Amino acid sequence: MRPSCEIFLLLASGAAAAEPEPNLLTSRFNLAGGVFILDTDTTLRFDANGTDLGTEFNWEDKFGKGDITRFRLDAQWRFAERHNLRAMWFGTERLATEAIDETIRWGDVTFPLGVAVSSRFAFDVYELAYDYALLRRPNYEVSGSFGVHYTELEADLQAEVTSPGQAGSVRIRDDVAVDAPLPVAGLRATVNLGRSFWLDAGAQYFYLSIDKYTGRITDFRVALTWQPRRALGFGIGYNRFAVDVDEEADDDSGKLDWKYQGPILFYSASF
């Protein structure tokens, strides 16, 4: 091996060995991306013209259960010693066709018993939160948090049914879109367990009754991260979220009782 190559390898290995372990309590930016293995439980009701009650039913019971694996992104910016901004996003879509075991009134249409209904259920979840460190020590931090958890949800049902007079068939369809911006408040703790291991746990809750919305939200998350290098970290976590929203308006009303939960496997960077 030429001397120049040996010198380069020695310098590179020395620099890697000299790189300090990241401190998640002082790092300016933290990013985590990975897979979120979701188990959802959704109860919906879509009323006709905002007055006539629709059929309340569980979406997974009617159109299939099972885990959904989706990409999830979390980010944190520490812009001052005790101040953090956090952001999160993930989304999914599920399509299914099933023969229903009851008559379902959905918005302005009615799906009769036994008809094959094609369904689409899609959502995107965003969160933006501010953390202030109430208690800060060299190896842990406890923060109060306040933010907004914003959900965009779409649910669509359609089917071919026999037309009046048995002359043929017609396609009936209706869909609903729910945009639920709900504030959240809670506590979050980050603890250094030693050997590049970090524990992060948080809980958030809020209840809101304003304008046409009444809703409550709970959000619990815990994660264990191994971060030996700034650009090299891995972790596993668990997140459980529940939202219960009632919307009452002259032209559109309904109910959403929605839960998702599951493990998160992620790659992380801290710098």
Tens digits of per-residue pLDDT, 191-200? 999 999 999 9
Tokens standing for 137? 């020590």
Cα–Cα distance list, 176 to 49, 78, 120 (Å): 12, 38, 11
Read off the amino acid at residue 2: R
Residue range 87-107, pLDDT digits in tens: 999 998 999 999 999 999 999
Tokens standing for 13? 């290995």
Q: Where are the chain's structural domains?
A: 29-270
> Which residue positions in the chain have pLDDT lower than 70?
1-19, 50-51, 164-167, 209-213, 247-253
Burial level of 246, CB count in 10 A (0-12/13-18/19+)? middle
- As its CATH architecture, domain 29-270 has Beta Barrel (2.40)
pLDDT in the model for residue 254: 76
Share of the chain above pLDDT 70, in %: 86
**∠ Cα 249 254 257 (to 5°):** 135
